[in-house]
């Protein structure tokens, strides 16, 4: 559902009709034809986007939402190039289907709760110069996406703004920015692109999580890494009734469940448009039991739990066809990419540290 079809911009978008003073910036006047910009008229009576404090806010880097050219020449040439190609939309990137699924959930929520502001809200994050971002706005209109909020930081890191936007999840292809966001306590992951993205549901958002160092802390992973399997199994048996600590993505699962419950309250439990999956290397009995007991102690549910006891995750993910999969171990991320799943690396926990010699 887009409130921005065609060539219109919302009243909340940049005021392009009054126009920036282009004569004081880089010499852009001799380059692109700016008349197309002046044709963009703000519309009136636009519905307001969800309030950040009620919305589930997803900050997405433009580089993963679309396939964009990287800035190779100087900034001024790059801006000029982007403005000259303003009418050529970027093609969908790895986050595109995820954003469309968020939109599909919003549409269904609005049908059930016309006045509710508890919806997904996507903020497009880019460190592009705002003028270069004009092509992005056009691209979003072209693909009829519901994104109304943009954070164009002109070369600065967008991380400082994530808190201002009350971001529940930040996705980027830039490992440094993701690490910075995680340090700030924001759920974040590095999105990677499979060679050929597998087809996913248009009506149900599917999100798959690894357990340790993603939903849970890396407490048990540390035991496994330093003392191997036997000690890990003993440890899990001993601590089966002690909930694990919070992992970096726990808050995002919580946010998803908040919206799931709105569907449950209307009798849509089995056919809920949001479905969550735990896909973990843990196995039965104690490691699996501890994971489930931890979720229970947090008051959280997961729709499906797959305990693979160290087996590859690819075949299960192939069956689930999630829009997005989160794992802290590159081995599993790569396995997911191979079968066409959009996979995100969560650079957290002991697996990121070099193995002891």
Q: For residues 171-230, which are near Mg ion according to CB under 5 A?
A: 210, 212-213
Asked if 328 is an active-site residue, the reply is: no
Pick between residue 134 and residue 213 the one whose CB is nearest to Mg ion: 213
8 Å CB contact between 67 and 93: yes
| CB-nearest residue to Mg ion | 212
Q: How far is the CB of 247 from Mg ion (least distance, A)?
A: 8
Candidate segments 124-132, 191-199, 308-316, 321-329, binder of Mg ion by CB under 5 A = 321-329
Angle, to 10 degrees, between the axis of helix 75-84 and the axis of helix 134-142?
A: 30
Q: How far is the CB of 328 from Mg ion (least distance, A)?
A: 4
Measure the CA–CA gap between 295 and 313, rounded to whole angstroms. Answer: 21
Measure the CA–CA gap between 2 and 110, rounded to whole angstroms. Answer: 13
Catalytic pick from 33, 77, 174, 210? Answer: 210
Q: How far is the CB of 65 from Mg ion (least distance, A)?
A: 26
The single-letter DSSP state of residue 204 is -
Q: How far is the CB of 96 from Mg ion (least distance, A)?
A: 26
155 three-class SS: coil
Task: Measure Cα distances from 142 to 1, 138, 197, 199 in Å.
Answer: 13, 6, 21, 21
Pick between residue 228 and residue 258 the one whose CB is nearest to Mg ion: 228
8 Å CB contact between 260 and 270: no
What lies within 8 Å, CB to CB, of 229 at 6+ separation is none
- DSSP-assigned beta bridge partners for residue 152: 126
Pick between residue 14 and residue 248 the one whose CB is nearest to Mg ion: 248
Closest CA to 169 of 182, 146, 186: 186
Pick between residue 69 and residue 304 the one whose CB is nearest to Mg ion: 304
Pick between residue 86 and residue 210 the one whose CB is nearest to Mg ion: 210
Radius of gyration, CA atoms only, the chain: 22
Q: How far is the CB of 130 from Mg ion (least distance, A)?
A: 39
Pick between residue 129 and residue 222 the one whose CB is nearest to Mg ion: 222
Burial of 247 (0-12, 13-18, 19+ CB in 10 A): buried
Q: For residues 25-84, which are near Mg ion according to CB under 5 A?
A: none
The reply on whether position 328 binds Mg ion by CB under 5 A is: yes
Q: How far is the CB of 47 from Mg ion (least distance, A)?
A: 40
Pick between residue 102 and residue 288 the one whose CB is nearest to Mg ion: 288
Residue in the block written with tokens 């196995």: 283
The reply on whether position 306 binds Mg ion by CB under 5 A is: no
Candidate segments 2-10, 30-38, 65-73, 326-334, binder of Mg ion by CB under 5 A = 326-334
Peptide bond into 285 cis (omega under 30): yes
8 Å CB contact between 184 and 196: no
8 Å CB contact between 128 and 152: yes
Q: How far is the CB of 327 from Mg ion (least distance, A)?
A: 6
Residues that bind Mg ion (rule: CB under 5 A) add up to a total of 4
Measure the CA–CA gap between 49 and 145, rounded to whole angstroms. Answer: 13
Q: Which residues are catalytic?
A: 210
Interface residues toward Mg ion, by CB under 5 A? 210, 212-213, 328
């Amino acid at each position: 559902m887009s409130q921005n079809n065609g060539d219109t911009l919302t009243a909340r978008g940049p005021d392009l009709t009054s126009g920036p003073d282009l004569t004081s910036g880089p010499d852009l006047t001799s380059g692109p034809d700016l008349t197309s910009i002046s044709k963009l008229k703000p519309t009136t009576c636009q519905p307001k986007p969800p309030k950040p404090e009620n919305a589930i806010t997803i900050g997405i880097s433009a580089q993963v939402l679309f396939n964009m050219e990287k800035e190779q020449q100087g900034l001024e040439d790059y801006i000029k190039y982007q403005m000259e190609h303003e009418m050529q939309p970027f093609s969908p990137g790895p986050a595109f289907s995820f954003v469309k699924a968020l939109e599909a959930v919003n549409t269904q929520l609005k049908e059930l709760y016309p006045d509710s502001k508890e919806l997904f809200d996507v903020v497009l994050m880019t460190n592009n110069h705002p003028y270069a971002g004009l092509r992005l706005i056009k691209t979003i209109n072209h693909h009829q996406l519901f994104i109304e909020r943009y954070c164009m930081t002109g070369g600065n890191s967008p991380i400082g703004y994530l808190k201002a936007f009350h971001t529940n999840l930040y996705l980027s292809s830039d490992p440094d920015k993701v690490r910075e966001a995680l340090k700030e306590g924001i759920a974040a992951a590095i999105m990677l692109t499979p060679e050929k993205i597998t087809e996913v549901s248009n009506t149900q958002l599917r999100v798959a999580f690894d357990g340790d160092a993603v939903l849970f802390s890396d407490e048990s992973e540390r035991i496994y890494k330093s003392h191997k399997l036997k000690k890990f199994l003993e440890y899990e048996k001993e601590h089966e009734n002690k909930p694990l600590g919070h992992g970096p993505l726990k808050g995002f699962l919580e946010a998803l469940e908040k919206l799931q419950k709105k569907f449950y309250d209307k009798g849509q439990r089995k056919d809920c448009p949001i479905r969550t999956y735990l896909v973990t290397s843990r196995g039965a009995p104690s490691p699996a039991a501890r994971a489930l007991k931890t979720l229970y102690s947090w008051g959280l549910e997961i729709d499906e739990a797959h305990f693979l006891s160290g087996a590859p995750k690819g075949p299960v993910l192939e069956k689930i066809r999630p829009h997005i999969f989160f794992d802290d171990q590159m081995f599993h991320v790569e396995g997911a990419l191979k079968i066409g799943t959009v996979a995100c690396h969560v650079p957290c926990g002991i697996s990121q540290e070099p193995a002891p010699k």
